[in-house]
Amino acid sequence: MKVAVVGATGLVGTKMLQVLAERNFPVTELVPVASEKSVGKEVEFKGNKYKIVSLADAVLAKPAVAIFSAGGSTSLEWAPKFAEAGITVIDNSSAWRMDVTKKLVVPEVNASVLTAADKIIANPNCSTIQMVVALQPLHAKYKIKRVVVSTYQSVTGTGKAAVDQLMNERNGVEGPMAYKYKIDLNVIPQIDVFLENGYTKEEMKMILETKKIMQDDNIKVTATTVRIPVMGGHSESVNVEFENDFVLSEVKDLLAAAPGVVVENDDATQHYPMPLNAHERDEVFVGRLRRDETQANTLNMWIVSDNLRKGAATNAVQIAEYLVSKNLL
């Protein structure tokens, strides 16, 4: 199968190549795509070298699937051109996520909505992906009424420039600033731009995307998203109110049996999810499970996942795997 990766030299694009190789996706020919300045350079994939091509040449190459991670403006301009050529696009930007004509997919939650007619498929926001993977089995059993989430997000979610800023600050080196403020030894309670309602764009992504993925507009979601000086994954403190009451032991069993979820919840041994341990893993790790003693039918949970993998690259590749398994490409 001929596969294009658009944005192949970026943090997420590089991770996509790694994940495609690790999961043995049936790539017979790779079409790596990057900015014009990178055209002609080479990337390595499974021991072979492939020359980076332009977006126009990638369309002409007619891959079966193109996985995009090159930003919203590139996706808005080029995804329709790929789709018109009969190429299925899996887009990692926010460009198509809330388009009512496009599917927003986390395979463990709603892959069944996909059809062969879906030529542009949206990959959700990283922080939304890990949360809905953990929430889905609980929603099916107890029906979620309201979610309050606070995130603690890795600098890798911003990109290489943010990683460089953190490491420069840690090493006492002057350099370009990806953030308005210092990030080392600091916490920045802003991810993306502020909107008129006082929420950031990242917070509204979590609110709106959760409803769409879980196919339930009645779920109330409120979010606070925060950048912290960490690499390896995003963490989330999630407070969930259900319509129906739950037994904590059953909650643990449901999560342990859920696809893509690993329960790390042992107070006695101080075993709980941390980005350090989630790094380079594809699972969503859940722990600190406890009843909210201030309100009926309400659960507190802690969710951690590698944002470059399950939060981006792995989820996109899993969508492609589902399309292959159902003969939808």
Q: Which of 93, 40, 36 is nearest to 66 (CA)?
A: 93
Question: Which residues, 6+ apart, have CB-to-CB distance to 325 below 8 Å?
Answer: none
Distance, CA of 25 to CA of 28 (rounded, Å): 9
Per annotation, catalytic residue among 139, 234, 271, 279: 234
State the DSSP code for 188.
B
Q: Is 279 one of the catalytic residues? A: no
Q: Residue 162 carries which side chain, given as an amino acid letter?
A: A
Q: Which residue carries 């944002």 as its tokens? A: 307
The pair of three-digit structure tokens given for residue 169, joined into one six-digit string? 């600050």
Question: Which residues, 6+ apart, have CB-to-CB distance to 47 below 8 Å?
Answer: none
- Report the largest interatomic distance among the alpha carbons of the chain, rounded to a whole angstrom: 60
Q: Is 234 one of the catalytic residues? A: yes
Provide the terminal-to-terminal Cα distance of the chain, rounded to the nearest Å: 10
Residues marked active site are found at: 126, 234
